[in-house]
Structure formats: C-alpha cells, structure tokens
Amino acid sequence: MADPSERINELKIDRSAAPPPARNWWLPALLLVVVAGIAAWWLLAGRGGGTVQVETDIARRPPSAAAANSVLDASGYVVARRQTTVSSKITGKVEEVLVEEGMRVEAGQVVATLDDSTERAQLDLAVSRVEAARAQLDEIRAQLRNAKLARDRLLDLRERDLASQSSVDQAVATYDELEARLETGEENVKVAERSVALAEDALANMTIRAPFSGMVVTKNAQPGEMISPVSAGGGFTRTGICTIIDTDSLEIEVDVNEAYIQRVEPGQRVSAVLDAYPDWRIPAEVVAIIPTADRQKATVRVRIGFLERDRRILRDMGVKVSFLGALPANEEPEVQGVMIAGQALHSDDSGDYVWLVRNGAAERRNVEVGGPRDRNRVLVVSGLVAGDTVVQSAESPLENGQRIKTASD
C-alpha cells in the first residue's frame, strides 16, 4: 500500500514551472480598427465629407485705362442717401426690441413694441360704448314702430270721428320725437365706431415697424426705457429705437473747391478708391452738383453714385475720387470683367471654371475668359462679379458642396 504522504505530495503545485504563454488577441484587433479609421477619414476627406484647407482670392475689377486721365482729385465719405432713425409717434415704455446692429430688416417688419396695457383698455372701453349705442338704437327703433302703429290707428279713428284731435296730435308728436331720437342714436353709433378706430390706431402705434428695407446700423433703446418722438429733459428718455439705412442708396459726398467746380459736370465718370481697399478702383459717376456753396470752406458739395455694389462698401468710409475726362481717340475704353489669380482658373471637357466660396463650401462656377490664360492675373468676362471669393489653391481635390477652411478661419 502506498505511503499517504507521497499521495499528498503529488497534489502540490510546482511553482518553479514556467507559465503558459498568454494569447494577446486584442492587439491585432486594435490595430485593425485604427487602420480602418484612418482609411475612412482619408476617403471622406477626399470625397467631400471632410474640411479642406484652401487659399482664396478676391475677384476685382481691372485697373481702368482712364484712371490716369483724371482732371480733378478729391476726398470725401460714403453716405447713405436714405436713412432714418425709427421712433414712436407717442411717448411710451419700451417693452421689447427685436433688432440688433447689422441685422437686415424688411419694410413693415416689427422692430420694437411698447407697453400697450392702457391702449388695450381704451380699446375695450370704446368697443363697449359701441355695443351700448347699438343697443340703445335698437330700443328706439322698437319704440318708433309702436308709435307709428298708435299714430296710424288714431288717424283712422279720427277720420271716423271716434278720436279727439288732441290725442291724434299727441301720437304724431310722439312719433316725430322718436324719429329724431333714432337719427341721434345712429349718429352716436357712428361716433362710437370712430372712437374704436382711434383706439385701434393708438394700439397699433405701440408696435414700431421699419419704414423701408435696409440694414440696422445703431440700436438706441433697450427694454424698460422710455421713448418719445420729441426730446425730453433730463436725458432719461430715448428719441429713437434704431437707425436703419438703405444699403442700395450708398453714395459718395465730396467737397470740391469752388475754384475747380467747372471741371465737374453731372454724369461725369469717376474712379473711386476706398481708404480701406487702396488697390480696388470702383467705377462711379457724378449724380448731382448741389447748387450752393459753403462760404466758410469755399467748397461746393458733389454727389457721386456707385456703378458697382459691393458688401465691402460701408457708410462713413473714407474715399478718394478722381473725376475723369474724356478718353483720347487712340485709347481703348475701360475693360469689362474681373481679374482673378491664374491658379484659380481650371478647365475640363465642359470648359473653364473656378471654385467659388459660398457659405464655407465650394461651388463650381463656369466662367468665360477674355484674355491670356498663362498670366498671374486672368481676366474673366462672364460668370463672376467684383467681390466674389474664389479658391486659389487647395490641399486636395474639391467637389460641389465640399466644406472648406481658409487660413483666416
């Protein structure tokens, strides 16, 4: 029989034996996931699903050939011909302001509301008066019908000598009196209805609307402040909600020395350069010469209208203008179109095109080129307007709708 101690020794664990090798199966799986993620990102970036870094260029009008033919130079400012400070017709407390600076508003859009609790109570009272006047009028009409029956009955009896003349006279007088009261009641109803119209107008005045479409440039009042159409003492009452300008009415005003005003005439071509964009020449023309002079400055004011609209033109910007003379006979007229970087122009089987930047995305735009293509700057005569932003270079191919990011973002 075996010794029990030997059987017990067989059950002991041998600590000196090497452990079996571990199976690190998760490492290949993790590597596979990483590779798949990189591949998916690369595919999305290459097919419009990602954001591509780009460099952009601004389409600008070509330099004018007549710019050197200036007969007079002057400086002035961009002004809005059509602007207004929106206020209320009556004094009231501002309840809500619905606009901010830089916001575009349409004609008739609500820009603010005033506290209208009193005006609503006045309207309810006026409506109640109309209802009371109409009820009184119905009562008079009922009485008039009874008086007419009584009068006709007594007249019939009088013809048969069955009623006295005094009773007939009394019935006729009662009828005439009620008929006059009916006319008065009808006028009272009209007066009450006009009172309702006045109350409705007063309530409508508590809602302030934009008089025309334009851009809000200043916000002058806040909820809780008092506003009045006239200036009040103490400085605690506002006289306007906001200032709106019509951006389509932007023009240039310059003061020309009266000694040189003979060089300017209505309709004359002008080349304008904003101080903020010294390389951008904007075509313009003289709109009017104000028929009065400033005796203090010995100048005459001249209005100049833009022939090209652009969002970069802002009110109160400084501007320098050149009044242009007639082109010499051997000089070509001003070149039409815009100039862009040559790298921004692309071509394929369908023709020439560029990538236009629209709301942070690339948009393909077919264009027509009007000059040599192998220049640093290319003339585009169709498809673009001055101020458009085009992609000059991109880190990867673009597609329609491709999200893009510029260096300034």
Tens-digit pLDDT profile for residues 354-378: 999 888 888 999 998 887 776 777 8
Q: Please give the Cα distance from 375 to 382 (Å, whole number).
A: 18
How open is the CA angle 367-372-373, to the nearest 5 degrees? 60
pLDDT for position 323: 92
Local confidence band at 37 (pLDDT 50, 70, 90 cut-offs): low
Gyration radius of the chain over CA positions: 42
**236 or 156, higher pLDDT:** 156
Q: In this prediction, what percent of the chain has a pLDDT beyond 70?
A: 81
Helix and strand tally (H, E) in the chain?
4, 24
Whether 45 shows a pLDDT value over 50: the answer reads no
Tens-digit pLDDT profile for residues 83-103: 999 998 888 999 999 999 999
**340 or 325, higher pLDDT:** 340
pLDDT for position 47: 45
Question: Nearest-CA neighbor of 353 among 404, 407, 391?
Answer: 391
Tens-digit pLDDT profile for residues 229-286: 876 555 667 888 999 999 989 999 999 999 999 999 999 999 999 999 987 889 999 9
Structure tokens at 260: 């040189």
Q: How large is the angle between the packed helices 117-159 and 165-204, nearest 10 degrees? A: 160
pLDDT for position 398: 87
- Looking up tokens 């029956």 gives 149
Q: Please give the Cα distance from 148 to 243 (Å, whole number).
A: 65
Q: Which residues lie closer than 8 Å to 218 by C-beta, 6 or more apart?
A: 101, 242, 243
Give the strand order in the sheet containing 338-341: 338-341, 377-382, 368-369
Give the strand order in the sheet containing 214-219: 83-86, 242-245, 214-219, 104-105
The overall longest dimension of the chain from CA atoms, in Å, is: 164
Whether 51 shows a pLDDT value over 60: the answer reads yes
Question: What average pLDDT does this structure show over 13-30?
Answer: 58
**338 or 275, higher pLDDT:** 275
